[in-house]
Amino acid sequence: MTHAVARLRQTRLAASTKPFNARGSSLVRCDGCRLPASHCVCEWRPSVPTRAGMCLLMGDIESLKPSNTGWLIADVVPDTFAFGWSRTQPDPGFVALLADPAWQPVVVFPGDLVEPERVVGDLSGLAPVPSPGAPATGPRPLFVLLDGTWTEARKMFRKSPHLQTLPVLSLDPGHASTYRLRRSQFDHHFCTAEVAAMCLHMAGDEAAASALSAWLQVFSHHYLRCRQNQPPDTGSEAHAQLGHAPV
């Protein structure tokens, strides 16, 4: 596996002074999906061309967690970038990406915690969604996602100077999160992959949004079944949807 999150994970592991022991760390995991071979999901992994790109700014150990869903985004969206967050030493690659004229970056964050003048509710005036069959023009939308705990995300947002000049996309999903791999006391807190799927839908990348949602469902099911020591049920609608996706 060579996508951006996998590379960031290897860099983070190389820099570690002691092993990172996640739940189930004694299990032998697949390098592709981070699940044990008995529950591997690699044969269902989709990859869908998109106009939009994803930029993951990740908390210190987020890329090391087997339950991290930023990895799933990088599986699906070819133009996914991943950087570790540092308050004092931002990654030069991250700074250069935000300045690249090929992209229109927008940071995704709750609008009620931001100055109103920075908040946008859609991509109008930023990176318009082309009509069906029309060629795309102008910079491509780049969604900057803060991948970590809610506490980490707020810290990254407040203490990252390079984010302060970006427009802020505030999502209004209208439904509760269905993510079950980590607990949250708030139904309106969505995992990173759920947020990315909403962004892809907003950018007109419907096939990728649907594939990412299904991929999250399949991964979550296999992860939970492994935790419960039960075999996965591969007959679900999400499995069937991904059964014909390119791997």
Give residue-wise pLDDT tens across range 158-206: 999 999 999 999 987 655 566 566 554 444 578 999 999 999 999 999 9
β-sheet with 140-147: strand ranges across: 80-84, 53-58, 140-147, 103-108, 168-169, 119-120
Helices (H) and strands (E) in the chain, counts: 7, 6
Residue 71 lies in a domain: yes
**pLDDT tens-digit readout, 12-21:** 988 876 655 5
Q: What are phi and psi of 82, to 5 degrees?
A: -140, 135
Check pLDDT > 80 for residue 244: no
Residue span of the structural domain in which 66 resides:
44-120+141-242
Whether the per-residue pLDDT at 56 is higher than 60: the answer is: yes
Strand 168-169 relative to strand 119-120, pairing: parallel
The answer to the question of residue 21 being in a domain is no
Q: In the chain, how many domains are there?
A: 1
pLDDT of amino acid 182 = 57
Helix (H, G, I), strand (E, B) or coil at 83: strand
| 98-152 confidence digits (pLDDT tens) | 999 999 999 999 988 899 999 998 888 776 666 666 666 789 999 999 999 989 9
> Is the residue at 136 inside a domain?
no
Q: What pTM was computed for the model?
A: 0.89
